Amino acid sequence: MRLDKFLGEKNIGSRKQIKEYVKNGRATINGVVAKSCDIHIDENKDEIAFDGEILTYSEYSYFMLNKPGGVVSSTREGKTTTVVDLLKKEGIKNLFPVGRLDKDTVGLLLLTNNGLLAHNLLSPKKHVDKEYEVHLLHDITDSELEILERGVDIGDGDKTLPAKAFRAESRDGHQVIHLIIHEGRFHQVKRMLESVGNEVVFLKRLSMGTLQLDPELSEGEYRELTDEEINCLLDNKLSKKQ
């Protein structure tokens, strides 16, 4: 890879700016000041530094966000804050959210620039588990939980796939259940509860495949995925059952 391309991918500056920076001796390769921005480097082996700070190379980036309410799961949304806006200071090009959470839904959201991984996570054929914490307006009965697990008609032609549903500790006077689904249909969790005569008052995603929401992350906070988390996703260990 050319040095200027590498520095560009690290968002050091525009091509014109990088040329000037290199000319001024601000970039080094293996400790030696770079003499030209069009020199070729081995991005996986050479030590590249800018203003003394070593820059590491990775083809793809992976971030876990605890999505807050009021933020949309898209890359552009006019004047509304997007999840990509929350990571803007990272300076990573082409980041996008893997799937969508409703504007008022909080919890786990993966952002990456790896399109193949995103496809695998979202493909209906992969049956990737997505677990939600659901706070309900009304208490739910055992028979209604069973109905949710068998699959329900949410008004778009096909019943939802079999799911798992179980009660959790009530909070703020509301019944709480955990619901594990394998699809990502529009407003699916809310529509599933509506089908049994209930209403969702708070919704939080806890996991997606093997990826679990870090309990140390407050709403709006994020971190890079660990190597172990990345490897589990890339090795197609997408289901917690595997």
Q: Which sequence positions are flagged as catalytic?
A: 102
Q: Exposed (0-12), middle (13-18) or buried (19+): which is 202, by Cβ within 10 Å?
A: middle
Q: Are the CB atoms for 186 and 120 separated by under 8 Å?
A: no
Q: Are the CB atoms for 132 and 204 separated by under 8 Å?
A: yes
Q: Exposed (0-12), middle (13-18) or buried (19+): which is 147, by Cβ within 10 Å?
A: middle
Pick from 134, 236, 117: which is nearest to 181 by CA?
Answer: 134
C-alpha 138: how far from its chain's center?
31
Q: Are the CB atoms for 101 and 211 separated by under 8 Å?
A: no
Q: Backbone dihedral region of 169: left (phi > 0), alpha (psi from -120 to 50 degrees) or beta? A: beta
User: 195 by DSSP, 3-state: which?
Assistant: helix
Q: Using the 8-state DSSP alphabet, how is residue 225 labeled?
A: P
Q: List alpha helices for 48-176, DSSP H.
A: 83-86, 115-122, 142-150
What pairing do the DSSP bridges indicate for beta strands 130-136 and 174-181? antiparallel
Neighbours of 141 (CB within 10 A): 12
